[in-house]
Chain A
């Protein structure tokens, strides 16, 4: 029950100030590029029960509402004033941490012997050991390949440093000084948070502060519930894919979102099993987990920009993912590259929400955050160099009342690029093209945002290029209510020259001087019938060079003549074909895949898999899918009911007991 509605707003401001201030302490004194450039760190205030009641909006990574901290807090039995607990292990923290590079620190804030709140901070360390520098490798298949694991342990006990713990961590990192620097920054932030909380306690008293914490969470909850009330009750299914899972088949993420009153349930039953790669998200089925809810948070915040930025906003969200699935893997699954999955979860929830609440939610955006990196020896000075060339996102999905955003997508909207001039000054490469990609946006009454067109030329022998997290290279960003799909991503070697070839997804690529690599990223999906788009807006995109005259004709039924719209030809074109009114357009690749792998077929596979030990599932899944495809090609249709038998035969064929 919210008691004082004036005090609440004052308290709200003070708490927001405290966490933003903590974040700024990290920003100012944090050490590594993840702090300075991508802002991949966070500072929070938690209730004694572990609920986040303060989280920064302006500084650092701001989509962490729903952090399940109780497991980590309860892992420590004897909290004392002056303690600081360190941890980075997803499994012993119950999914508070979701990959090892995120070093977390927790500090209890005491008043007269009782804990009023906890401070929590994390930073994405540039390295915590493991098989590759940076510790994140998509091909890691168990967590031990991803670095050192630290279950919650006291780094400081009653104000005294436990040097052995620190030593153990630093000895297992490739960059110990930088880790130390970042940890110092986090500790300074925790101390600042403590000072601010104690000021509030002095001014208002501990009881009013405790009441304020409860009220602040309740305030966010009430506001979110008001928004959910507007959404019609019902269940809404949606699924989407990561590409190239076991056997090269897509990995499906399936969700049934059920709205009842002001509650939301997310049921991920039907989501594929965990994979032998690092795309798993260890949610531990924690209620309102922060890796599952960002699409909901964005939705709430869009309709009420004043919702207090705390976990109260997700109190009404319940969620379930089957054990040993991609979103709830068993202990020791690799998790490093879970960011790709996290982005796709947003698309899945967005798709479900978009059915629940018509004409409020955007079509799909580019849905990837690929980081292109290079390693080479600089011919100029003989030094070996490693560096980021550019993060590549794509266009956002079209909105129900306006176009998408060109070159940027909400999912990864916090990323900054690197000036081409800086890249060229630091690395022996040439950026030949860095712009928007023509004809990439999904057509629609409102079009998607355009993708990115980046072409780099290599100037140094034996240059190794990596491009982590390339996704939607086949399955396109979906359009909505008649809107078309955005173009899928592409990577091309030596575009327009001898030896041109499509690269598909790049894991690692060896390049020589003169080679060029072109990245064409996804356009966002369109919204609404493209034939209803105002011809002058189509013309404008043609004049801007974002749309070809051919696409204007084919996609929009608009005939461009020079610098004007040919009205007569346009009305003829538009009278001919009625625009499509499909709820969703998914594009040819996905439709082809689903022609065989309809929902029931995919469900049949994973249901059948659940009968086998975890260690066999990855194998049996890819073998079964290949077998079903083979049978289908030979004209023998496989029904969902027949899938278990196909699988059992493959199991027997292994030959072992």
Chain B
């Protein structure tokens, strides 16, 4: 049969996941293959090979979306290009000073992260513009090129240009870029007004510098990847996921890699949003537990976005799906402090040496060892049986730790789970307060390697009554790749009071943003992506005059057309947050924002997921939990139905994860193949 396929691939730290759907949107297959750290594309080639072995005709792939952690790894490992920076005279230390504030004011031995561009590779240029874009000092081309020559002599291969107030007038930066490109075509160069033209010199400069720093590596990776997939007959346009949960062509991702830095966690949330939508659930907290921490995000029909994200120690103001890492993970190490109190984390055993039970030399008891010892994990069924675990090593590690606490290995294991959960709670609940939500109104949607194992314990701790485990929870990020849309965000720093607005001024600024968006989406679509429609989302960062902080307000077409309506919307939103508003006061429009979305025509229907493996007879396993012995039912997803609820304790063993349902929750399977757990009391 002549069938077109779509391929989604997510490259994670340990595994590279793939998911294939057919032209009806049905999931054909999913797979996991080990990631290859120094050549990420190799794992993709391996995946393509395995797909061919499974009978997928890779020539028929007409859409290929993939997410990579290459950019973020390059940053965190600081293995990027030797990067230079050009700034306005007087601002050489924009990367050194940052925003002043120290991350940890209580550690006398602490340090700030060294800047990506050392001071000797930052050059000041004699040029100056004002906040309204007027030119005070014109750019001197000779001086500019001399500075670049110096940098090239010092070994710079990538260059960022960030001049003061370039968000208001990009002519100096554009002129500089052109001059430098002509003279130094081999340099990777980018300018701040093109990367993210928002007022705030540190954050804008940093975004530009990060882009330059990872650009070369991303570019050459995409080249190798594009060439390599050709050998498997794949001719589809290569698409890359973005931090904002959307996607763009790989060619563009190579030029603007800063937009991909947070794409990994974003993909998972996009996948979760899709699953929740299919399941008819609108309010969701995601729970993606890995080896060192848990990523959480809020979805209220749509995922929440943030302009205050972090990559390592660096702030990122380009909008990204709002994901926060909290608490402990599966590899978090348990230890006893000087007073004899049990602690879990923040150190993690990682994949190597890993938990004691991995038998890779790890000596310390971890959360995973606790699960294994309590009987919740099964030694011979970890990762579908691909990896053997060693319960005796877990027990030894727990016994050693327990002797310091005067607890048995089993008591220690339970204590580790309790403390790990309390750790998560300690960061989760303030986070929810900061977002202004009560998590008890939400469904916890768990995925990732360890998420489904711990999700119910977390739900119990924070008072969440409903938990959803999607099919193939270990590959949800790859699923996110499959359901993403083309999407990009645009900003204009307007900084104008409602009292000073000319008629039609707001609308015309938004029209310019919209045009930028339309142009972008046309270019992207012309790369070979078929679209099922486009739409634009408008918003503004607004505040009362004289106030020091903004609220982002989403605006309709009518509201961008009428400043009075926009103001009214702001007053309303202000009142809902602060309980009061000042309806007579003037309002500042600080930043105007627009996001363009290009819809992909159809999406996979999750209900048709066929998990691998056959159904087997019900089985009982002795476990110890909450200090009691239980006979847990061990089931697979196929054995569940929507008709019958099964009360915990239940253990669901799946190919890529283990789901643990403690007493107090009952589960069933919904029409979409999701496992739904609900609190019984």
Chain A contact residues, CB within 8 Å of chain B = 2, 5-6, 8-10, 12-14, 16-18, 20-25, 27-29, 31, 33, 36-37, 57-59, 62-63, 177, 180-181, 184, 192, 196, 219, 222-223, 226, 297-299, 301-302, 304-306, 361-362, 381, 391, 393, 399, 401-402, 405-408, 410, 413-417, 419-422, 424-425, 430-436, 452, 455, 543-546
CA distance A434 to B92 in the complex (A): 8
Contact among A9, A222, A544 with B118 in the assembled complex (CB-CB below 8 Å): A544
The residue that B580 contacts in the complex, of A12, A177, A223, A401, with Cβ under 8 A, is A177
Of all A-B residue pairs in the complex, the 5 with the closest CB atoms, nearest first, are A413-B102, A413-B105, A20-B430, A13-B422, A435-B93
Q: Report the minimal beta-carbon distance from B527 to chain A, rounded to whole angstroms.
A: 35
B547 at the A/B interface (Cβ < 8 Å)? yes
- The proximity string for B residues 175-217 relative to A, scoring 1 for CB distances below 8 Å and 0 otherwise, is 0000000000000000000000001111100000000000000
B618 at the interface (CB under 8 A from A): no
Cβ–Cβ < 8 Å partners of B342 in chain A: 5-6, 9
Q: How far is the CA of A430 from the CA of B131 in the complex (A)?
A: 10
CB contacts under 8 Å to A, within B149-173, are 164-165, 167
| Residue in B343, B432, B433, B580 whose Cβ sees the most chain A Cβ within 10 Å | B433
Within 8 Å of chain A (Cβ to Cβ): is B615?
A: no
Judged by a CB distance under 8 angstroms, whether B582 is at the interface is: yes
A14 touches B105 (CB 8 A): no
Q: Could you give 8 example pairs across A and B, Cβ below 8 Å?
A: A10-B422, A177-B582, A226-B339, A302-B106, A305-B107, A420-B91, A424-B130, A545-B119
B109 touches A302 (CB 8 A): yes
A306 touches B434 (CB 8 A): no
Asked if B422 and A14 make an inter-chain contact with CB atoms under 8 angstroms apart, the answer reads yes
Instruction: List A contacts of B102 (CB < 8 A).
Output: 405, 408, 410, 413-414
Contacts of A410 in B (CB 8 A): 102, 105, 108
- Determine whether the beta carbon of B107 is less than 8 Å from that of A302: yes
Query: Cβ of B434: which chain A residues have Cβ within 8 Å of it?
Result: 24, 27-28, 59
- With a cutoff of 8 Å between Cβ atoms, the chain A residues found around residue B429 in the complex are 17-18, 20-21, 196
Complex interface: chain A residues within 8 A of B422 (CB): 9-10, 12-14
Distance between Cα atoms of A28 and B427 in the complex (Å):
16
Say whether B100 contacts A393, CB under 8 Å.
yes
Q: How far is the CA of A361 from the CA of B500 in the complex (A)?
A: 55
Contact with A along B108-125 (1 / 0, CB 8 A): 111110000011100000
Given A21-B433, A436-B97, answer yes or no on A219-B341 (Cβ-Cβ < 8 Å). yes
CA distance A405 to B167 in the complex (A): 31
> Does B1 make an interface contact (CB < 8 A)?
no
> Distance (Å) between the CB of A217 and the closest chain B CB?
12
A544 with B106: in contact, given A219-B339, A424-B131 (CB under 8 Å)?
Answer: no
For residue B312, CB closer than 8 A to chain A, the reply is: no
B569: Cβ under 8 A from any A Cβ: no
Q: Is the CB of B418 within 8 A of A435?
A: no
Determine if B430 and A58 form an interchain contact, defined as CB atoms under 8 angstroms apart. yes
Residue of A nearest to B428 (CB): A17
Most buried by A among B92, B112, B422, B582: B422
With a CB–CB cut-off of 8 A, which chain A residues contact B109?
Answer: 302, 399, 401-402
Chain B 414-426 interface 0/1 with A at a Cβ cutoff of 8 Å (1 = within): 0100110011011
Q: Which of B92, B100, B120 has the largest number of chain A CB atoms within 10 A? A: B100
B residues 273-325 with Cβ under 8 Å of A?
Answer: none
Max count, chain A CB within 10 A of own CB: residue among B101, B111, B342, B415: B101
Task: Give which listed residue, A17, A22, A27, A435, contacts B97 with CB less than 8 A.
Answer: A435
Is B77 on the interface with A (CB-CB < 8 A)? Answer: no
Q: Decide if B495 touches A416 in the complex (CB within 8 Å).
A: no
Q: Which residue of B lies closest to A411 (CB)?
A: B105
Contact digits for B559-599, partner A, Cβ 8 Å, 1 yes 0 no: 00000000000000000011110100000000000000000
Of A13, A20, A402, which contacts B419 at CB under 8 A? A13
Considering the chains assembled together, what is the distance between the CA atoms of A28 and B432 in angstroms?
Answer: 11
Known: A6-B415, A184-B580, A422-B200. 12 other contacts (CB 8 A): A14-B425, A17-B429, A20-B427, A20-B433, A33-B548, A177-B580, A177-B582, A196-B429, A298-B106, A421-B167, A425-B199, A436-B93
Partner of B100, one of A407, A422, A431: A407
Known: A9-B419, A435-B91. A29 touches B547 (CB 8 A): no
> Complex Cα distance A652/B419, Å?
71
For the complex, give the distance between the alpha carbons of A131 and B407 in Å: 63
A63 adjacent to B118 (CB under 8 Å): no
Contact B548 A36 (CB under 8 A): yes
Q: A301 near B107 (CB under 8 angstroms)?
A: yes
Closest to B97 in A: A407
Interface centre among B91, B105, B199, B342 (most CB of A within 10 A): B105
| Cβ contacts under 8 Å, A57 to chain B | 106
Task: Kindly provide the distance from the CB of B365 to the nearest chain A CB, expressed in whole angstroms.
Answer: 14
- Name the residue on B nearest A196 (C-beta): B429
Q: Does B405 contact A (CB under 8 A)?
A: yes
Would A416 and B99 be within 8 Å (CB), given that A24-B434, A223-B339, A405-B111 are in contact?
yes
Total B residues in contact with A, Cβ cutoff 8 Å? 68
In the complex, how many angstroms separate the beta carbon of B586 from the nearest chain A beta carbon?
11
A62 to B495, CA, bound (A): 33
A25 and B433: CB pair below 8 A?
Answer: yes
Query: Given that A14-B426, A223-B338 are contacting pairs, would A62 and B105 also be in contact in the complex, using a CB cutoff of 8 Å?
Result: yes
Most buried by A among B130, B428, B434, B547: B434
A348 to B105 CA separation, bound complex (whole angstroms)? 18
Residues of A contacting B167 in the complex (Cβ-Cβ under 8 angstroms): 421
Which of A16, A23, A27, A455 interacts with B426 by CB under 8 Å? A16
Q: A181-B580, A298-B108 known; A6 and B419 CB under 8 Å?
A: yes
B108 in contact with A299 (CB, 8 Å):
yes
From 423 to 463 in chain B, residues with beta carbon under 8 angstroms from any chain A beta carbon are 423, 425-434, 436
Q: Which residue of B lies closest to A220 (CB)?
A: B339
Any A CB within 8 A of the CB of B532: no
A24 to B338, CA, bound (A): 31
| Chain B, Cβ-Cβ closest to A188 | B579
Asked if B138 is at the interface (CB within 8 A of a chain A CB), the reply is no
The answer, among B112, B418, B433, B580, for a CB contact under 8 Å with A24, is: B433
Q: Are A21 and B341 in contact (CB under 8 A)?
A: no
- Bound-complex Cα distance A28 to B434 (A): 6
Residues of A close to B136: CB separation below 8 A: 430
Contact B97 A452 (CB under 8 A): yes
CA distance A23 to B427 in the complex (A): 13
Q: Chain B's nearest CB lies how many Å from the CB of A565?
A: 15
On chain B, the residues within 8 Å of A401 by CB distance are: 109
Chain B residue contacts of A22, Cβ below 8 A: 433
Measured in the bound complex, the distance between the Cα atoms of B90 and A431 in whole Å is: 8
Q: What CA separation (Å) do A304 and B433 show in the bound complex?
A: 28
Q: B342-386: contact bitstring with A at CB < 8 Å (1 yes, 0 no)?
A: 110000000000000000000000000000000000000000000
Cα of A406 to Cα of B115 in the assembled complex, Å: 12
Cα-based distance from A414 to B99 in the complex (angstroms) = 10
A282 to B185, CA, bound (A): 66
Contacts of B111 in A (CB 8 A): 402, 405
When C-beta atoms are compared, the residue in chain B nearest to A295 turns out to be: B108
Using CB atoms, name the residue of chain B closest to A37.
B548
- Cβ contacts under 8 Å, A435 to chain B: 90-93, 96-97
Q: How far is the CA of A59 from the CA of B426 in the complex (A)?
A: 13
Residues of chain B lying within 8 A (CB to CB) of residue A37: 548-549
Distance in angstroms between the alpha carbons of A435 and B95 in the assembled complex: 10
Which of B106, B340, B432, B577: most chain A CB closer than 10 A?
B106
Nearest CB of A to B454, in Å: 15
B426/A421 in contact, CB under 8 A? no
By a CB distance below 8 angstroms, the chain B residues around A181 are 578-580
Do A434 and B90 contact each other (CB < 8 Å), given the known contacts A5-B341, A10-B418, A421-B199? yes
Which of the residues B92, B118, B131, B548 comes within 8 Å of A425, measured between beta carbons? B131
Closest to B430 in A: A20
State the Cβ distance, A91 to closest chain B Cβ, in Å.
Answer: 29
